[in-house]
Structure 1
Amino acid sequence: MKLLSVQNASLILSGAFFLGAGAYAQTPDYRADAETVLDLIDRQYAYAHRFDGGNPARGAQGVDVESVTDAASLLRFAECAVNALQDHHAILGVSSPSSYGLTPSYNDLWVEFRDEAYVVTDVRAGSPAQTAGVTPGWRISSVAGQPMQEAVAGLCGGPYETGAGKGFAARVLTAGPRDQERVFVFSDFDGEEQALTLPNLYQVETEDRPLISVTEREGVRVLRFNDSLGNSDLIAAIDEALSGPRPDGLIIDLRDTPGGGDTLYARALMGRLVDETKPYQRHALPQIERDTGVARQWVEEVLPRGDSLAGVPVVVLAGRWTGSMGEGLTMGLDAVADAVTIAAPMAGLLGAIYDYDLPETGWTVKLPTETLYHVDGAPREDYRGDIVLDSADRLGPDGEDLALERAFEALGVESR
């Protein structure tokens, strides 16, 4: 996702509110937009039940309408309000160079609060953290020179009082400000301190990759989606990847889909794997029921398209860097293709997000507004694979991809 980079208030004004030659920029009512942010969360956020139906942003640390006087203070206010939701799927469409990076897209560490410690539970494959030797099970004792407990307590949007809340805050902190290196002190399995400085993922150049990497072994075809579930060329890439002789099995590798995508492209893939119309997920709009007392829920379906590969055994790989549409596709393939899912817990990005533009500045607030469910009624965020892994990105002693080898085994292909 490409975010608007805001260097300072004057840049915002000259870019967003220029009225034409000879005219002055009209100063927006920043405080009114701050109020709108809170009102949007009140009305549209679909997961308020996580906070007993309340709005955790009201009264949260750093969320003070009276402090908003200009663009910079509105941006900080909005970032703090979004943090208060403790939801990596609630984000802003505007940022500054020092804004914290997005998890999971721009974070290579998955951190949880366990046994009174901040524990690395997964490390992204091929990332700076993995290259530096960071291993699941290590503990983080400090970030940016601050003890973790102090850094979490100081992150705006708090207080972060539950284990889940502390884990959310830790992941925000480990993604780090986008314009800074990340400085950590870890404790390894022997209790030895490991001081590491890692680049921010916003500063790491990524190689050009195909939308789908296709490989085959003993008649089994592997389709690895390279964070491409929102790319407009993906339908053609799917059809190309599925062309040719009918495979004996398919492995759909969704472990690198942190950026989410569009249901259009998920349905394009699933439509090739069915020979009749099938439901793939349920949607609900909680605000309709809140406003009217009448619930609204519907089922989204997949229709067959092209040459059907229905009946080909399918295995899906997913993990912490499977986010949003990747999570929906994992769940959908379980429902429509009877796929075997081999997965670590996924990113847990809540629901489907809608874009809301603030009336004064035009900035976009992205909030989970629909709740999403498996066709059996289970919430998407609670979905677990048929075979549950601690990490889907872990490598073996010889550099082998352990999760991929499990997928081949599930299809009857011996490990290498």
Structure 2
Amino acid sequence: MAVAPLFLRTFMLAAMVHAAALPARAEQAGASAVKWQSAATELKKLVPEIYAYPERLDNTVGHESDLLRAERLAIETERDLFLYAEKVALALADHHASLNRSSKQSFALVPTYADMWVEVQDGAYVISSVRRGSPAAGAGIAAGNMLVAVNGTPAAEAVAAFWDALGYEPDDERRGYAARLLANGRQGGDRKLTVRDAAGAETALTLPTLYDAPMPERSAVTVEERGGVPIIRIGNSLGDIDTVTAFDAAMAAASVAPEIVIDLRETPSGGNTSVARGIMGWFVDTPTPYQEHRLRADAEPMGITRSWRELVSPRGTARYAGCVTVLVGRWTGSMGEGMGLGFDAMGADVVGTLMAGLLGAIEQFTLPESGIRISLPIERMYHVDGTPREDFVPAETATTCPVASTWESVGGEPGFRR
């Protein structure tokens, strides 16, 4: 019997081994796909169960559109799971819902990495606020301008395509959400926008995102004086306990002034309640409620709501007895919004534009078999008078403090407008 040459026998053996390995590899790949699909299914179940705003969900399909369902069933890798989870977060149209991971194709986080606020008014995409010192402001974009196109596509068509890709029919609130993401760009690459000014002139602009052109770094607390009134500006530092020490130092110098202004308009990333209570503790002499929490999960299935009020306690320093004006705007986010409500409850004039309107208090959940974490609002937040935090409307004019009430609340020397 003829014997095959050595090289041919080696090739034949390798082919046999490879053929034997194919079913094993296919089995491993199949098991891996099941693992990631199972994690995605857990996410699909989680959102309707714990999300604090169930009325925002499309309950006819349990929040998951047909397109998202098909994508979930096709998941094979951890990256596929990430892309599905990212779309689940986007489908909520909630700037407070996010993942701990991102890619260059992920949309910028709003409001932290946003420099313009876009909303729908009478069918048009209106830029209602622009962040001072940002690329958008530097390009001459101003509040009241219209967003006409994104990457050469008319704004309305770009927004429609955003929701078509997720399989949902949007209302104006969801259209505004998508427009903000499109206008503020992705985490890699420039934005190509067409903007129309008040005179009707259209300008095509190419702008970097705040990932490539970050906002100027600000100290945790800075103080300037105008008209004899100290203006204490708090940077994007409400998550840093050292901010309390810096605020204490500012107040030690400002506490003799008959009135002060506290500027919260550059706090988009929120923070923690310890910092907020540390700051607000200067303005109470007894434990005082500043916000209310309501936890949805405890209300089901019997409708027994768990709610509680959070208190600000005196710091042990002398209570500031002067008049307080607080400035807020679209880049006052989450914990900054809670402080705005708290100061309002304590009798301060809270002045400016609408705040970021971030929904509730968030908690992180880790998806099974992965390090992917999703942050979701699980508590609703309220003013102590019962107003939902996201519905709070600041005053247009300071009325209580003698000097601040002479300033224009929008525009004006103190810079009430971003």
**TM-score of the two chains, using structure 1 as the length reference:** 0.84
Any idea what SS the aligned residue of 2:385 has?
coil
One-letter identity of the residue aligned with 1:147? P
C-alpha deviation, 1:218, in angstroms: 4.2
- Partners of 1:250 and 1:267 in 2: how far apart? 18
One-letter identity of the residue aligned with 1:152? V
C-alpha deviation, 1:159, in angstroms: 2.4
Larger Cα Rg: Structure 1 or Structure 2?
Answer: 2
Q: Conserved in 1, the CA contact under 8 Å of 2:134 and 2:215?
A: no
One-letter identity of the residue aligned with 2:278? A
Q: Conserved in 2, the CA contact under 8 Å of 1:266 and 1:325?
A: yes
Q: Conserved in 2, the CA contact under 8 Å of 1:105 and 1:259?
A: yes
Structure 1, unmatched stretches of 5+, are 1-25, 390-399, 408-416
Show the counterpart of 1:344: 353
1:221 and 2:266 are equivalent in the alignment? no
- Partners of 1:401 and 1:213 in 2: how far apart? 21
- Partners of 1:279 and 1:365 in 2: how far apart? 30
| More off after superposition, 46-55 vs 69-78 | 46-55
1:304 and 2:314 are equivalent in the alignment? yes
1:72-83 equivalent positions in 2, closer than 5 A: 72-83=79-90
One-letter identity of the residue aligned with 2:268? P
1:261-272 equivalent positions in 2, closer than 5 A: 261-272=271-282
Show the counterpart of 2:137: 130
CA distances 1:320-379 after superposition (whole Å, capped 9, x unpaired): 11110110000001112x100112011100000011111210211100000000001111
One-letter identity of the residue aligned with 2:45? D
- Partners of 1:358 and 1:388 in 2: how far apart? 46
1:30 and 2:36 are equivalent in the alignment? yes
Show the counterpart of 2:76: 69
Question: What's the Cα RMSD here?
Answer: 2.2
- Partners of 1:295 and 1:206 in 2: how far apart? 41
| More off after superposition, 272-281 vs 143-152 | 143-152
1:42 and 2:51 are equivalent in the alignment? no
C-alpha deviation, 1:293, in angstroms: 2.5
1:230 and 2:236 are equivalent in the alignment? no
Q: Kindly tell me: are residues 61 and 115 of structure 1, through their superposed partners in 2, closer, same or farther at Cα, counting changes over 3 Å?
A: farther
- Partners of 1:66 and 1:293 in 2: how far apart? 34
Any idea what SS the aligned residue of 1:291 has?
coil
Counterpart pick for 1:274 among 284, 295, 298? 284
Show the counterpart of 2:401: none
Q: Conserved in 2, the CA contact under 8 Å of 1:373 and 1:380?
A: yes
CA distances 1:69-88 after superposition (whole Å, capped 9, x unpaired): 21222222111111111110
C-alpha deviation, 1:50, in angstroms: 2.9
Q: Conserved in 1, the CA contact under 8 Å of 2:218 and 2:236?
A: no
- Partners of 1:345 and 1:405 in 2: how far apart? 18
Q: Conserved in 1, the CA contact under 8 Å of 2:133 and 2:215?
A: no
Show the counterpart of 2:105: 98
- Partners of 1:74 and 1:255 in 2: how far apart? 36
Show the counterpart of 1:59: 65
Q: Kindly tell me: are residues 90 and 79 of structure 1, through their superposed partners in 2, closer, same or farther at Cα, counting changes over 3 Å?
A: same
Q: Conserved in 2, the CA contact under 8 Å of 1:60 and 1:84?
A: no
Show the counterpart of 1:197: 206
Show the counterpart of 1:148: 155
- More helix by proportion, 1 or 2? 2
Show the counterpart of 2:179: 170
**TM-score of the two chains, using structure 2 as the length reference:** 0.84
Show the counterpart of 2:383: 374
One-letter identity of the residue aligned with 1:170? A
| More off after superposition, 349-358 vs 204-213 | 204-213
Any idea what SS the aligned residue of 1:167 has?
helix
Show the counterpart of 2:23: none
Structure 2, unmatched stretches of 5+, are 1-30, 399-408
- Partners of 2:84 and 2:168 in 1: how far apart? 15
- Partners of 1:273 and 1:36 in 2: how far apart? 45
Q: Kindly tell me: are residues 129 and 267 of structure 1, through their superposed partners in 2, closer, same or farther at Cα, counting changes over 3 Å?
A: same
Any idea what SS the aligned residue of 1:173 has?
helix
Show the counterpart of 1:396: none
Show the counterpart of 1:334: 344
| More off after superposition, 343-352 vs 143-152 | 143-152
Any idea what SS the aligned residue of 1:331 has?
helix
C-alpha deviation, 1:62, in angstroms: 4.1
Q: Conserved in 2, the CA contact under 8 Å of 1:284 and 1:297?
A: yes
Show the counterpart of 1:365: 374
